[in-house]
Amino acid sequence: MNKKKIIASIKNIRISFKDNLTGKNNVVIRDTGFDLYRGEILGLIGESGSGKSVISSLLNGLLPRGGEILSGKISILGHDVTNWKEKDWLKSKLRGRKIGRVFQNPMSALTPTIKIKYQLIEALLDFKIFKKEEECIEEVIRILDNMDIENPKELLNMYPHELSGGMIQRVVLTMIISLKPEAIILDEPTTALDPIVQSEILTLIKKLNKQYNISFIFITHDIGVISEIADRVAIMYAGRIIEYGDSHEVLFDPRHPYTWGLLCSLPSASIGKNDLVGIKGILNQELLKDDQDAFVFRNPYAMQIDTEKRPPFFKIKENHYAATWLLHPNAPKVKKPEFIRSINKLY
């Protein structure tokens, strides 16, 4: 098997935020991480507040103010960036150039009063990719063409507010891709788009991934979207990745009861039934003790041991792991939800 190159790696990271009112430190990322391989699309899934944005912000050195890395290690393209200060990030070519990022509201990446043309050129000139404006424009038009934009020259003369959500996404992707990045983090890139535009953007991302061999981290709370796009997936709950592996493995043979819950909340799971199954309750960080399985309060399959000890990762296959005591050899055999059994049959 040929060994895949690791672009970035987050290991055993623990992060807290200080609560300004109470002065208490809330741990929001709990001793977790992932590797990002060259050329892959990694889907990072979890409900709102599970830590997807915070953990991925580490790859750009953009941990929100008040956040503190308590332990763990972050490396990017061979650099240990764990203790980097803002000045180290500014000096390096990693942020923005080698590791790009598209935010949930991509409009925020653009300046409203400046034509698209100048915004795209500026990035290229800033990073000294080209010296002349004409060269920049040629390059930008080449990339826009490749994104199936009919009239790139016309687009270049427009202002951000004249563009649709899907077009804004394409402009922001063009800006990032023109810098020849190794990886792009897409933080809920399609959440605000209507379904047709969303599916166009997913197709576009797959195409860019293949053409340029750029790695993508695709963050979403929608497990349905991920099945269309990701090579590998990591499922996050309460600041920890709890199941990960090849998409096909995780989505057709899921082993963690939280992953079961996510899949059972898909609209297709409710066909022929009266209501959605899904996961009951809400994530309550306050109640959680560090040595417990965070899912214990909402897990219909919870056992005594979940209240006492955090489960380690159990290996299911070479490319599939899950952290649930249900995989312990001595655990009782449980009956999976009906929808999950029907998915298993498609495996």
Ligand X SMILES: Nc1ncnc2c1ncn2[C@@H]1O[C@H](COP(=O)(O)OP(=O)(O)O)[C@@H](O)[C@H]1O
Residues 247, 72 contacting (CB under 8 angstroms)? no
Tokens of 271: 């066909």
Total residues at interface with ligand X (CB under 6 A): 13
Residue 28 interacts, among Mg ion, ligand X, none and using kind-specific CB cut-offs from 5 to 8 Å, with ligand X
Taking the least distance from each CB to Mg ion, the nearer of 101 and 117 is 101
Distance CA 170, CA 109 (A): 12
Torsion angles phi and psi, residue 26, rounded to 5? -95, 120
Contact between 46 and ligand X by CB under 6 A: the answer reads: yes
Residues in 266-285 that interact with ligand X by CB under 6 A: 285
Distance CA 345, CA 347 (A): 5
Taking the least distance from each CB to ligand X, the nearer of 53 and 299 is 53
Q: How far is the CB of 193 from ligand X (least distance, A)?
A: 18
Choosing from 22, 48, 113, 330, the residue that interacts with ligand X (CB under 6 A) is 48
Taking the least distance from each CB to ligand X, the nearer of 66 and 312 is 66
Distance CA 44, CA 230 (A): 9
Choosing from 32, 36, 42, 50, the residue that interacts with ligand X (CB under 6 A) is 50
Distance CA 152, CA 142 (A): 9
Q: How far is the CB of 61 from ligand X (least distance, A)?
A: 15
Taking the least distance from each CB to ligand X, the nearer of 17 and 301 is 17
Distance CA 66, CA 62 (A): 11
Taking the least distance from each CB to ligand X, the nearer of 117 and 240 is 240
Residues in 117-156 that interact with ligand X by CB under 6 A: none
| C-alpha torsion sign, points 106, 110, 111, 114 | negative
Residues in 90-119 that interact with ligand X by CB under 6 A: none
Taking the least distance from each CB to Mg ion, the nearer of 53 and 265 is 53
DSSP count for the chain of H helices, then E strands: 12, 12
Based on C-alpha coordinates, what's the Rg of the chain? Answer: 21
Choosing from 13, 41, 54, 302, the residue that interacts with ligand X (CB under 6 A) is 54
Candidates 72, 60, 63, 54; CA nearest to 13 is 72
Contact between 53 and Mg ion by CB under 5 A: the answer reads: yes
Residues 18, 25 contacting (CB under 8 angstroms)? yes
Q: How far is the CB of 49 from Mg ion (least distance, A)?
A: 8
H or E stretch including 89? helix 86-91
Residues in 284-303 that interact with ligand X by CB under 6 A: 285
Segment lying near ligand X (by CB under 6 A), choices 49-57, 166-174, 204-212, 242-250? 49-57
Q: How far is the CB of 68 from ligand X (least distance, A)?
A: 11
Segment lying near ligand X (by CB under 6 A), choices 50-58, 145-153, 224-232, 316-324? 50-58
Q: How far is the CB of 199 from ligand X (least distance, A)?
A: 23
Distance CA 193, CA 25 (A): 36
52: helix, strand or coil: helix
Residue length of the chain? 347
Contact between 28 and ligand X by CB under 6 A: the answer reads: yes
Interacting residues of 90 by C-beta distance below 8 A, sequence separation 6+: none
Q: How many CB atoms lie within 10 A of CB 152?
A: 20
Taking the least distance from each CB to Mg ion, the nearer of 45 and 137 is 45
Choosing from 52, 256, 298, 310, the residue that interacts with ligand X (CB under 6 A) is 52
**Contacts to ligand X by CB under 6 A:** 17, 28, 46, 48-54, 64, 66, 285
